[in-house]
Structure 1
Amino acid sequence: MKGKIRNQIITIMLMTTSMIASGQNKIENPFGLVYRDAITENINGEVNIHPVNYKLNDIEIAANVYTPANYDPSKSYPAVVVAHPNGGVKEQVSGLYAQHLAESGYIAIVADASYQGASGGEPRNVDKPANRIEDIHGMADFISQYKGVDAEKLGLLGICGGGGYSLAAAQTDKRFKAVATLSMFNSGVVRRNGFLNSQVNTIQERLKQASEARAQEAAGGKILYAGVANPTDEEIAAITTDLYREGYTYYYRTHSHPNSTFRYTMSSLIDLMAFDASTNMGLINQPLLLMAGDKADTYYMTEDAFKKATGTTEKELFLIPGATHIQTYYVPEYVEQAMTKINEFFGKYL
């Protein structure tokens, strides 16, 4: 069984691919949003969305700021930074939760990671932990200066891979007064050991591939990518792990977006495979909420991080009954449960 999973994951995660633009759903939403009940226009007195751009280390970052109903820039609001999943963009699940946060009275920001989505940076789809963590610091920089934001009431919500990077960012960035994750994914551990530790035996081989890819880049050669090609319905159905089977359905069928792709530069593995979001978890002294579906095959990552969070006395592990990892992204009853808990948590600490 483990060998079967390993072979599937290797096939899925190590294919060289091109940017996937074909086969995507046509996006009717004027803001590019692909989640259910997304904002379609800014109406006075209701939650509004504000596309913004700002510079971070000379890279143009594309972000959306969600403001509460009857937002008045002369008043004071708590704010939340939302970090998107690996391969995701601000128009998907992170935007959904940002919109719900605005509905609850928060100003929320979600930005495409540098080198990804609508943000700048070359080569495309570089995916290094240091960049993703800096993106979170950068969102905090920008939203803290936004009109109406009370910078002393700043929270952080990370989803999937964004959850792991949020834990890493919060270890040292004490502007975040409360930290929450949903379906946390420890990207470095999975890139190194494989999902469910299915690639432990190929670590050195993959590091060699990454090193050779970097050498090729440095010599001006072709950029090599790891990731996936556009899978068929049959290929998706044959995947045995919930995370990847449901993930491909979400990202390539029901909530597809042309800026969203799983591909990343092969050379990024040099940095990714040395990363562990749970290292130095003891540095987090802020209130901490870790949420996951109790059916999620990724739960082991949340559980590990929670056990290592010894620096805070205000921590909670919240399980959403019946939910898998991807179902927390869009299934209304699970999203509602997550948001109820998030509102309780941020309401207490912000």
Structure 2
Amino acid sequence: MKELQHKRPVFLGQRHIHLDNAGILSQIRVSHLLMLSRILLCLAVLSVSTPLFADTVWLKNGDRLTGKIRVFDGGKLLIQTEYAGSVPIDWRQVKTLESDQELLVKQDAYTGEKAKSLQAAEEGKVILANGEAPKTVELASIQQILKPKPLIEDLTWKGNVDVALDYKRADKDTDDYDIDFKTTARHGAWRHNAEGEYNREFQDDVVTTDNWSAEYALDHFIDEKWYWQGRLTYKRDKVEDISRQRTVGTGPGYQFWDDELGAFSLGSLLNRTDYQYSDGQKDNFYSLAMKWDYNRFLLGKTVSLFTNGEVGKPLGNAADYSLDAEIGLRYKVTEWASLNLKAEKDLIGSGNVSDGNLNKTRYTAGFGVSW
């Protein structure tokens, strides 16, 4: 009779495995698998607890910044850091950089290459890794770095909505409401601009101000700076002598800069303006106008100074003129919430006082949201 081999049970959790004399090796392998699974579990936990993106920018002076690259435009690279918030860096001071993000790198104003990651290279260069052969490009040749959008890759959209409320209880009770918005969206050579405003004021329950306005403008960029604009503006006032105003205009403009830190543009327009007065009379004329739009972040993107407006001169009448302008400060409380102070001037003058002159200045303080 064959000699029976002795077997002994070994318990693993709720299971037991019978090992024969040759099963010692199997037990060792099982213990190795358990140890490997614990290591993999620890690595998974660590990967969840660490940041998704850790981008690095090396500067020519030897400094190094880590964080998350937000955007590069207008000669400024904006990197979000945990220790200093959003930090703008002069592109000319960048030695090289790397990023694990998928980014759209544009070497001209209209086309770009989507890179799955950026890899550091020698000074003045960066490597675009896009799944194919890595491509090394000069930093000086890059015009923009953006995070690609799902549908329209190079779409940039920004704007703000401001609200101001003022309640005064004295000899004359005053309630003042002011709401305005402004937004800009750009895709390739096209830029869409929209803005609007609503003002209403009561004194002892009597309406002293009641007006609103809306404007849409479409810009087509001829090159990086020059663009051509078409614009439509409509204003409605239920209190002042000029009750309705419609303006259609077109003309060239120049964009000095437009980046994460602000924008500045000047434009000239040939306008046709139609007035309707409160007594039913109408008037229309052609005019030349100069408009401006300026905003700039200060103090590390905490405070911004802004001003925009338009000054116009009717053709064929040396005495008439118009001015519609505002200037203000905006303080960012959070990434999206802000406080604001504004002064607005609306002026329409002519040589004949009976023609319905308008001279109005408003000061407002309020809160808003921006994106």
Interval containing the TM-score (normalised by the shorter chain): under 0.3
Q: TM-score, normalised by structure 1?
A: 0.25
Q: TM-score, normalised by structure 2?
A: 0.24
Q: Which has the higher strand share?
A: 2
Q: Which has the higher helix share?
A: 1
Q: Return the index of the structure with the highest Cα Rg.
A: 2
